[in-house]
Amino acid sequence: MVKYELQYYNQQQLWNAYDGNRRELLRAQETIQQIPDEVTTVLDIGCGNGILTNRINREVVVGMDFANIPLRNVTKHAVCASVEKLPFKPGVFDLILITEVLEHLPEHVYVQALDEIVRLDAKYILISVPFNEDFDIDVCKCDVCETTFHPSHHCRSFDDMWYADKFPGYEACQVSYSTIMTTKNHAIARLKRQHGVYTENKLVCCPLCGGNARPPNYFLNYLFKGITLTDIILKTVLNIKRPYHQLVLMTKRQVPTE
């Protein structure tokens, strides 16, 4: 599984989509604004192409990712390593930044990653995850082994209090939500799958076998795109929207003095 994940994230085309992407740039700015003023050292875990790392103005900023291709665009200190075995000693960084990473991790890696983040003993942890993501809406199907999987390789969804018991010794001091989007239609999603129409994405690969996503029937694909667009327009007019990203700033609990 790790082999195919690395294959996916080491595609330059994947990261080209971030260049000049206004929504991503705005979200990067929103995230950076949540970094406390007292922070001087930052580790950005899963930094990708550095869309956040490169814009953080602190004394020491380190971007880390397990894929080496996106790290070529990081202009700050860059380290190629995996989140389940962080190559840093405790207390080195004031803040650990981990945005849009945890949802991608297989369960055993996810558990190890949480332990590693806590081990670093930073004063702050700043996390961004997709909020209440519905895995029934967008689904790819492998054209080889017929496994269904998320088009962005997400493995889990996060509710509003998911973080409460995941970081021993820390507590949330600020929670916010961003990327307000129209909600997608469950009925349309179910109808699509009943007709064998799955999400089209030429860059993804099956996390189990590395196969390509099955391309949908040309006519049905455009038919459902039209139906979906109509639904989105209607919801936009009616202002039916919800936040897509949750941003959580955590700080170490104060030890009571006797």
Model pLDDT, residue 24: 86
> Which residue in 83, 78, 75, 71 sits closest to 2, CA to CA?
83
pLDDT at position 137: 86
Q: What value does the mean pLDDT of the chain take?
A: 91
Quick check: 73 and 15 in contact, CB under 8 A? yes
Q: Residue 156: which of 91, 103, 196 has the closest Cα?
A: 103
Report residue 254's pLDDT band, with 50, 70 and 90 as the boundaries: confident
- Please give the pLDDT value at position 91: 95
| Contact present, 46 and 64 (Cβ < 8 Å) | yes
Please give the residue that has the higher pLDDT: either 5 or 88.
88
Q: How many CB atoms are closer than 10 A to CB 173?
A: 11
Closest to 9 measured CA to CA, from 56, 54, 85, 72 = 72
| Domain 2-252: CATH architecture, name and number where available | 3-Layer(aba) Sandwich (3.40)
pLDDT of residue 256: 59
Which amino acid does the sequence have at 179?
A: T
Pairing of strands 241-252, 41-45: unpaired
Confidence of residue 17 (pLDDT cuts 50, 70, 90): confident
CA 100 from chain centre, in angstroms, equals 2
Res 49 pLDDT > 90: yes
CA torsion angle for 135, 139, 142, 145 (degrees, to 10)?
50
Single-letter code of the amino acid located at 152: S
Nearest to 134 by CA among 106, 99, 159: 159
- The residue with greater pLDDT, 1 or 181, is 181
Global pTM reads 0.91
Question: Each residue of 108-157: pLDDT tens digit?
Answer: 999 999 999 999 999 999 999 999 998 888 899 999 999 999 998 999 99
- Segments making up each domain of the chain, as ranges: 2-252
pLDDT in tens, 74-106: 999 999 999 999 999 999 999 999 999 999 999
Mean pLDDT, range 18-47, rounded to an integer: 92
Q: What percent of the chain has pLDDT over 90?
A: 67
The answer on pLDDT for 258 being more than 60 is no
Instruction: In whole angstroms, give the CA distance from residue 87 to residue 157.
Output: 28
